[in-house]
Structures are given as structure tokens and as C-alpha cells.
């Protein structure tokens, strides 16, 4: 029962098992699943940048806030639901957990259908709202059409991966994401280089890859590998309120990526033009990969923290948090050093032989990457506060690092420092947010939650 390979989501393991082994069991499959999820988008960027060109890269960068909105709403539902599910497992209330799971599925699918309808009805207006110029608007609309139409694939692949992980099967989430990513890579090559479908080909390849991930994740429930099963959902206001109260912080955390992307896009367009947006697109792809790695570790500790918080085991909660912080700090330093030492080769992955775009990307990437040292710990604290029902604190951390500080610095620093101020803004926002997060954590220690 104490082995990592066969460790189920049981009370014996989560409450009494070795925390380091449980952390390995949950966090690292979650990490690789998130990286597989990120590969869907990054592979698109590589094939688009190399196979279509810099303007196409700018198109996807402009459209990406919509994708991040889809992810944000999915996380809003599945993180709220999965946190409650873990607590219900700790209280041996499996039937209630099944009902919450079923409600979450209905909400995710309903959201996707709504977005598909209204997104396509107002496609032109949406592209303009995202800042598309006359040069780019055709491509933005082309990409958004596929993205909105097949939004259910993104929502279900991500949402089910979080829920399956909380049902004690983090490895299948990793397998699903990896197979989906491999499918995406293969189809990207076929659709872009052989069929010459351009932006549409990249979007279709991503959607098909996600369908493969969804089918693999559904096998967890069909083959009854965990405790959860689909039942006729019994909606009531309290359940929806509980899911929303917990999920809103995760929603803000993910939506912040879209807000930051949009603000960066508008600012770089103003100071550096379309090629500046393309350069930021490369940086955004790198940042997305790093962000998903951090999020994988942070969400990997969530079932451990939620369960032991529900079981009143504060020492084990603290231990799990410590492992998450140390791991993400180490990853942050590693990613920073890679970007500092290899900015040119990283840019060439996306830009191939476009010398102007590569040179435009190198220095900004080196500056931007300093923020990685702080970002992972901020995401860990935000997820931790959510898992111990300190939703207000989680919201403060999420809002500070995105909507409040980053947008503020993006609006002010470039005025005085020019383009360099664009890249420094993310460093200042993440560093200040980390100080806020530590302060809030100390406050929880002096309160009734004794950690």
C-alpha cells in the first residue's frame, strides 16, 4: 500500500502515508500532464512560426486570450469541484462526490456550447476587441472560428484531467496529455506542411489531439478505475455556491494569463509594431510552458492539501506546501538559467531563419525570464490557499500578480523606460506578489489554522 506505483487515493495513504511518496505520485504526473497540455499550444506556435511566418505567430498570440478564457472557466469549475470532491472522499461521502463530479461535467459542456454559439455569432467583433489590425484580422477570425467551435475539446481534456487526478489516477492524465500532444504534433505537420491549411490546420490539429486526450480520460470512468462515476446530477444552490466560491480564485489565476497576454499584446503593438507582437508571441509560448509546469506542481499538491485539511492534519498540509514551494523554486531557477543562456536557440525554434524576429526576441526573453524565479511560488501559494479554503487570500495573490500589478506596470513603466519597461513589468509584479503571499501565509499561521 505504500508503493508509489500502486498508491490509490485512499485515507490510509493520503492521511498516513509518506508525504514525499504521495507528492511524487501526484505532483510529477500532474507536471507532465500540464506540460503535455502546454505542448498542444506550443507545437502550434512552432509549426506556425516556421511553416507560415511571423504574422501568423502574431495572429495566434492575439487569439490566445480566448483560449486562456476557456481554460480559466474550465478551471473555475473543475478546481472548485475537485477540491470539494477530495474533502468528500476524506469524509467518506462518495455519493456526494459523484454528484459534484456530474454537475461539473454538465457545467463544462454547457459553457462550451454557449461559447461556440456566441463566439461564432460575434467573430468579427471579438477579433477587433482583441486588437487585431487590418493586416492580421483575417487570420485571427480564421483561428477563432475553430477555437470557439471546438472549445468543448479543450474544456473537457483539461477539466477531466484535474478530476481524474483527484480520483487517484494521476498517471492516466499524464498518458492522455502526452498521447494528445503526439497526435497534435503529427497532424500539425500533415495539415500545415502537406495539406497547406495554414492557421486552420494548426487549430484543427489541436482540437483532434484534445479529442484523443478526452477519450483516454473517459476510460478511467468507463473501466471504473476510481471511486467517481457519472450519475444524474442533483443541482442545488449550495453546491453551485461552494464550487464557485472555491473555483473563482483558480479562475482568476488562469484568466490572469489571458489578461496579461492581451495587455502585453496591446503594449508591444504600440511600441514595437506587429513584429513586436510576434516576438512577444515567442516569449508567451515559453512563459506558457513554464507556467503550466509550475501549475502542474501546484495542482499536484492540491489533493494532498485538501484531503489532509479536511482530515485536520495540519503538519501534513505544511509538509506538502513546503515540497511544492521548493520544487517550483528549483524549476523557476532552472527555467531562468535556460532562457538566460540559450535565448537565441529558443527563439529559432519558433522563428527559424527570421533574423529580425530572432534578434527582437533575445534580450526581452532574458529579462522576462527573471520573473520565473518568483512565479512558481506564487502559483503554489495561490493553490494552497484555495485548498485550505482561504479563498480570499488566493484571490489576493492571483489578482496582485496579474490584473493589478502587471497591468499597472505595463501602463506606466514603458512611458518612462520605453520597450524595456514592458519586460520589467512582469518581474516587479511577481516579486511584489511573492512578498504579499508570504505575508498572508504568516497571517494564516497566527490564526486558528496552525501550520
Mapped onto helix, strand or coil, the DSSP state of residue 6 is coil
- Which residue intervals of 342-449 are DSSP H helices? 343-351, 355-368, 372-387, 391-399, 405-417, 419-446
**Is 451 within the bounds of a domain?**
no
pLDDT digits over 49-96, tens only? 888 887 888 888 888 888 888 988 998 898 889 888 877 887 888 899
* Number of residues that make up the chain: 451
pLDDT digits over 136-169, tens only? 899 999 999 999 999 999 899 989 988 888 787 8
Whether pTM exceeds 0.85: no
Q: Rounded to whole angstroms, what are the CA distances from 382 to 136, 203, 377, 395?
A: 36, 31, 9, 7
What distance in Å separates the CA atoms of residue 31 and residue 64, rounded to the nearest whole number? Answer: 22
pLDDT digits over 102-137, tens only? 999 999 999 999 999 999 999 999 999 988 888 889
What distance in Å separates the CA atoms of residue 375 and residue 270, rounded to the nearest whole number? Answer: 26
Examine the pLDDT at 450 and tell me if it is beyond 50: no
Examine the pLDDT at 4 and tell me if it is beyond 60: no
**Is 2 within the bounds of a domain?**
no
Closest Cα to residue 143, out of 159, 158, 126, 160? 126
- The answer to whether 45 and 231 have CB atoms below 8 angstroms apart is no
Cβ neighbours of residue 379 under 8 Å, at least 6 residues apart? Answer: 253, 291, 294, 295, 298, 328
- The answer to whether 246 and 391 have CB atoms below 8 angstroms apart is yes
Residue reference for cell 543562456: 341
First vs last Cα of the chain: how many Å apart? Answer: 27
Give residue 342's domain range.
19-446
Examine the pLDDT at 214 and tell me if it is beyond 60: yes
pLDDT digits over 265-322, tens only? 989 999 998 889 889 999 988 998 998 899 889 988 888 888 888 778 888 889 999 9
Q: Helix, strand, coil proportions of the chain in percent (round to 5)?
A: 85, 0, 15
**Is 5 within the bounds of a domain?**
no
Grid coordinates representing 158 are 483539461
Closest Cα to residue 204, out of 189, 217, 188, 219? 188
Number of independent structural domains in the chain: 1
What distance in Å separates the CA atoms of residue 31 and residue 173, rounded to the nearest whole number? Answer: 10
**Is 369 within the bounds of a domain?**
yes
**Is 304 within the bounds of a domain?**
yes
What distance in Å separates the CA atoms of residue 110 and residue 79, rounded to the nearest whole number? Answer: 17
**Is 1 within the bounds of a domain?**
no
Amino acid at each position: 500500500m505504500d508503493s508509489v506505483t500502486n498508491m490509490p487515493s485512499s485515507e490510509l495513504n493520503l492521511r498516513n502515508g509518506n508525504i514525499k511518496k504521495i507528492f511524487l505520485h501526484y505532483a510529477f504526473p500532474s507536471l507532465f500532464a500540464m506540460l503535455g497540455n502546454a505542448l498542444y499550444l506550443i507545437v502550434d506556435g512552432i509549426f506556425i512560426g516556421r511553416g507560415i511566418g511571423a504574422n501568423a505567430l502574431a495572429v495566434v498570440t492575439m487569439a490566445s486570450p480566448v483560449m486562456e478564457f476557456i481554460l480559466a472557466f474550465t478551471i473555475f469549475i473543475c478546481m472548485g469541484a475537485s477540491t470539494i470532491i477530495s474533502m468528500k472522499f476524506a469524509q467518506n461521502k462518495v455519493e456526494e462526490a459523484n454528484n459534484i463530479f456530474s454537475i461539473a461535467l454538465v457545467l463544462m459542456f454547457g459553457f462550451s456550447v454557449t461559447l461556440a454559439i456566441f463566439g461564432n455569432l460575434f467573430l468579427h467583433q471579438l477579433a477587433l476587441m482583441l486588437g487585431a489590425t487590418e493586416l492580421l484580422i483575417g487570420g485571427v477570425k480564421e483561428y477563432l472560428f475553430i477555437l470557439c467551435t471546438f472549445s468543448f475539446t479543450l474544456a473537457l481534456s483539461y477539466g477531466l484531467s484535474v478530476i481524474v487526478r483527484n480520483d487517484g489516477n494521476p498517471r492516466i492524465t499524464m498518458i492522455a496529455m502526452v498521447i494528445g500532444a503526439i497526435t497534435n504534433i503529427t497532424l500539425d505537420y500533415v495539415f500545415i506542411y502537406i495539406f497547406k491549411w495554414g492557421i486552420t490546420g494548426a487549430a484543427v490539429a489541436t482540437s483532434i489531439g484534445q479529442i484523443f486526450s478526452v477519450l483516454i480520460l473517459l476510460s478511467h470512468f468507463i473501466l471504473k478505475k476510481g471511486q467517481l462515476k457519472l450519475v444524474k446530477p442533483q443541482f442545488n444552490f449550495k453546491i453551485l455556491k461552494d464550487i464557485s466560491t472555491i473555483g473563482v480564485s483558480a479562475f482568476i489565476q488562469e484568466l490572469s494569463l489571458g489578461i496579461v497576454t492581451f495587455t502585453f499584446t496591446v503594449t508591444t503593438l504600440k511600441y514595437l509594431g506587429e513584429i513586436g507582437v510576434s516576438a512577444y508571441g515567442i516569449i508567451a509560448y515559453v512563459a506558457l510552458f513554464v507556467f503550466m509546469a509550475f501549475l502542474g506542481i501546484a495542482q499536484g499538491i492540491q489533493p494532498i492539501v485538501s484531503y489532509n485539511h479536511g482530515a485536520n492534519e495540519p503538519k501534513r498540509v505544511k509538509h506538502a506546501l513546503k515540497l511544492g514551494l521548493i520544487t517550483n523554486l528549483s524549476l523557476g531557477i532552472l527555467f531562468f538559467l535556460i532562457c538566460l543562456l540559450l535565448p537565441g536557440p529558443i527563439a529559432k525554434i519558433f522563428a527559424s531563419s527570421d533574423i529580425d524576429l530572432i534578434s527582437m526576441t533575445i534580450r526581452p526573453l532574458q529579462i522576462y525570464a527573471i520573473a520565473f524565479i518568483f512565479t512558481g511560488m506564487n502559483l503554489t501559494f495561490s493553490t494552497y490557499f484555495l485548498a485550505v479554503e482561504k479563498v480570499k487570500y488566493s484571490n489576493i495573490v492571483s489578482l496582485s500578480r496579474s490584473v493589478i500589478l502587471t497591468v499597472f506596470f505595463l501602463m506606466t513603466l514603458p512611458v518612462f523606460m520605453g520597450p524595456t519597461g514592458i519586460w520589467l513589468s512582469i518581474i516587479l509584479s511577481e516579486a511584489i506578489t511573492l512578498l504579499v503571499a508570504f505575508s498572508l501565509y504568516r497571517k494564516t499561521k497566527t490564526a486558528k489554522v496552525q501550520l
